[in-house]
């Protein structure tokens, strides 16, 4: 079996997790990762024995890498030439510049949620519109919040249909270790509607969505509350059944000890998951209630890892490895070990 060769540009919060995710895929080969400087993530890669080849995205700064003892296998051009497809996890705006390089060498690429939608041919989600990405040259993923939100909404939409959703996002203000946001003791509200609601409608145009976003001074995960109007009246028990059947949704409860976002982060660490990562979103059983025909529930979004499976789905779609959402997501889930806890 010929493996698809994948390169990762940007070795930060998302990039290092993308590299790990690709390395787990039995039908893919990670060519290497690229970054501009000996960041803490790159230094940690060296200390782990350089399990992945490193390529410099800023040759003019190679002296810094050499001084830090980072072995360099080439530059970004070399990585792109050696890859079939690139996962671009660079800072917002850099991916659009890198696209010129991908086009130069005739290589496909997948961009993250921070890039503008115009960078790609398809705004992509592994479950909601997989088939639209099949064969596409450039795909853009949704943000972490939108990725998890669409998983839950698409789950019920495929089961009974969804008319509209209204969301409130309680957003962590920064990733762990990010100091540039400052130390705060305040909440900050954005103008409505939130981009996540608008992005959901872009992926799922048949669903009316709106929402509010509140920034909170925490780092381990977002929480989204959803009020969803199904096309067919369903019970709480039925909603639980549909959610429980989704591989990338984990049902939890307060009585089990899952009191909030920090509980889920701690549980992921107790499981021994690298970096405390969790690919699944969590929905609290205790939060699912009805108001008339509307269903309300709360989701935990593990922002550092939630988009990794959908990125792998995007590779499968773009490279025509699997042609349907069921086949593509199933392969991704198998190699990442998603859903195994349901039968353990």
> What is the average pLDDT score of the chain?
94
35 is an annotated ligand-binding site residue:
yes
Fold match between 4-142+307-342 and 144-301? no
Question: Thinking of the domain 4-142+307-342, which architecture would CATH place it in?
Answer: 3-Layer(aba) Sandwich (3.40)
pLDDT in tens, 225-259: 999 999 999 999 999 999 999 999 999 999 999 99
Residue 278 is predicted with a pLDDT of: 95
Residue 344 is predicted with a pLDDT of: 52
96 Rama class: left (phi>0) / alpha (psi -120 to 50) / beta: alpha
Q: In which band, very low, low, confident or very high, does the pLDDT at 16 lie, cut at 50, 70 and 90?
A: very high
**144: Cβ contacts below 8 Å, ≥ 6 apart:** 113, 222, 301, 302, 303, 304, 306, 307
236 Rama class: left (phi>0) / alpha (psi -120 to 50) / beta: alpha
208 close to 201: Cβ distance less than 8 angstroms: yes
pLDDT in tens, 255-264: 999 999 999 9
pLDDT in tens, 63-121: 999 999 999 999 999 999 999 999 999 999 999 999 999 999 999 999 999 999 999 99
152 close to 145: Cβ distance less than 8 angstroms: no
Domain extents for the chain? Answer: 4-142+307-342, 144-301
Residue 216 is predicted with a pLDDT of: 86
CATH 3.40.50.2300 fits 144-301, yes or no: no
Residue 341 is predicted with a pLDDT of: 73
Residues of the chain with pLDDT > 90, as a percent, come to 89
Q: For residue 144, indicate whether it is catalytic.
A: yes
User: Active site residue: 9, 14, 45, 144, which one?
Assistant: 144
Residue 78 is predicted with a pLDDT of: 98
User: Whole-model pTM?
Assistant: 0.94
Residue 179 is predicted with a pLDDT of: 60
């Amino acid at each position: 079996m010929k493996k698809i060769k994948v390169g990762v540009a940007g070795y930060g919060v998302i990039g290092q997790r993308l590299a790990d995710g690709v390395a787990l895929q039995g039908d893919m080969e990670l060519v290497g990762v690229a970054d501009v400087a000996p960041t803490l993530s790159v230094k940690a890669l060296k200390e782990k024995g350089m399990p992945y080849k490193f390529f410099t995205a800023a040759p003019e700064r190679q002296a810094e890498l050499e001084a830090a003892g980072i072995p360099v296998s080439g530059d970004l051009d070399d990585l792109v030439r050696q890859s079939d497809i690139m996962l671009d996890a660079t800072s917002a705006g850099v991916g659009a510049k890198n696209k010129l390089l991908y086009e130069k060498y005739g290589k496909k690429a997948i961009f993250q949620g921070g890039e503008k939608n115009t960078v790609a041919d398809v705004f992509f989600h592994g479950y909601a519109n997989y088939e639209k990405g099949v064969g596409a040259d450039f795909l853009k993923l949704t943000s972490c919040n939108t990725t998890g939100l669409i998983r839950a909404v698409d789950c019920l939409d495929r089961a009974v249909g969804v008319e509209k959703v209204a969301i409130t996002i309680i957003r962590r203000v920064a990733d762990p270790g990010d100091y540039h946001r400052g130390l705060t003791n305040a909440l900050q509200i954005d103008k409505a509607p939130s981009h996540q609601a608008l992005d959901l409608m872009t992926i799922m145009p048949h669903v009316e969505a709106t929402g509010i976003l509140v920034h909170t001074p925490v780092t381990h995960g977002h929480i989204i509350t959803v009020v969803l109007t199904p096309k067919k009246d369903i019970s709480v028990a039925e909603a639980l059944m549909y959610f429980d059947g989704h591989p990338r949704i984990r049902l939890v409860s307060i009585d089990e000890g899952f009191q909030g976002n920090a509980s889920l982060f701690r549980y992921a660490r107790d499981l021994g998951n690298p970096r405390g990562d969790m690919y699944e979103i969590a929905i609290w059983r205790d939060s699912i209630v009805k108001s008339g025909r509307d269903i309300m529930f709360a989701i935990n979004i593990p922002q550092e890892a939630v988009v990794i499976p959908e990125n792998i789905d995007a590779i499968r779609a773009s490279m025509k490895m699997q042609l349907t959402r069921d086949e593509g997501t199933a392969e991704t889930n198998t190699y990442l070990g998603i859903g195994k806890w349901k039968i353990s």
